[in-house]
Structure 1
């Protein structure tokens, strides 16, 4: 079982008792405003998401980690790696992403978890490049991307919803973990 500990976080595979807290995160319009069309997700959709994330671990050898606070055991959200199949022009790449509940914003958790995920990508999975795809205007994610050392590679549009997307990339051979 893959687990990563940072000073404040545990990145791990998903447990059954993660469903309800992740569904609460996905039901928050403030959290979901930058995800797809901004729609919130219910318990059933969240269960489908977690099942898909776990399948990606089995198929790809990487996936989205549940992010747990070490101090309290609370589920803060997720961070991890996935294949961005929704965007054909970068579907051969591996993307890093994150989603944390709003009570966990502004405390550096997303940056801490994402940094550990990039180290995992380089050291444990041997990836030499990782991208991030974010919706234009998502300033909080842009801030995390800057902290990771990722640079803007291209601007494009979401193939379904049509809004502008920014694709950032980092060459992990130059990443200083």
Structure 2
């Protein structure tokens, strides 16, 4: 399957390069960026993550892209689409997600990249629905979800199976957007 890439006025959502690993590792090592995850990642864990992202692209033709600013060429984060890789009542499903370096927060990049990702999901991949999820305390991410037209599905909230039982980050909220909802808001 050919690799899908996309862009916006300010951003490139592109394939990963080996040279991106240091920036990805720095992003994943930032305690503040990773505060809604069980722990920051070390360099080896980031390398393993990059290998999994590339394998997803190889298998599906889409995945979590490297997010690059067009004006500077700087890698500022990760965004995109992925098959949900754990067992839950809503699986099989495709999720949308993002993670940006702190210096690029509150500038509209996450929403801009997410809207481009949804366009790929519905226009190129022909998906009927896209999901997103996070911990209840991650209000900025939930704000992005709402800004791109996603709706909270309280009945779908769940305990993340990859977070240890009883961990404060195990409860997750679920958001959804259908192709019809996405088309209606365009």
TM range (shorter): over 0.9
Q: Is the 8 A contact 2:149 2:181 kept in 1?
A: no
- SS of residue paired to 2:6: strand
Q: Corresponding residue for 1:22? A: 24
2:174 is matched with which residue: 123, 144, 167? 167
Instruction: State the 1:87 CA deviation.
Output: 4.1
- SS of residue paired to 2:89: helix
Deviations 1:27-77 (A, max 9, x none): 000000112x1x111111111101100110111222101000001000011
Deviations 1:120-139 (A, max 9, x none): 00111111100001111101
- SS of residue paired to 1:32: coil
Unpaired segments ≥5 residues, structure 2: none
Q: Corresponding residue for 1:90? A: 90
Instruction: State the 1:19 CA deviation.
Output: 0.1
- SS of residue paired to 1:89: coil
Structure 1 distance, partners of 2:90, 2:133, is 9
Between 77-86 and 155-164, report the one with greater CA deviation.
155-164
Between 154-163 and 18-27, report the one with greater CA deviation.
154-163
Q: Is the 8 A contact 1:87 1:158 kept in 2?
A: no
1:3 is matched with which residue: 5, 10, 26? 5
Structure 1 distance, partners of 2:26, 2:150, is 30
1:127-166 pair list within 5 angstroms: 127-153=127-153, 154-159=156-161, 160-162=163-165, 163-166=170-173
Structure 2 distance, partners of 1:34, 1:150, is 20
Q: Corresponding residue for 2:35? A: 33
Unpaired segments ≥5 residues, structure 1: none
**2:55 is aligned with 1:48:** no
Structure 1 distance, partners of 2:60, 2:89, is 19
Q: Is the 8 A contact 1:84 1:90 kept in 2?
A: no
Q: Is the 8 A contact 1:77 1:101 kept in 2?
A: yes
Structure 2 distance, partners of 1:40, 1:52, is 17
Structure 2 distance, partners of 1:129, 1:61, is 18
Q: Corresponding residue for 1:109? A: 109
Instruction: State the 1:86 CA deviation.
Output: 2.5
Q: Is the 8 A contact 2:8 2:112 kept in 1?
A: yes
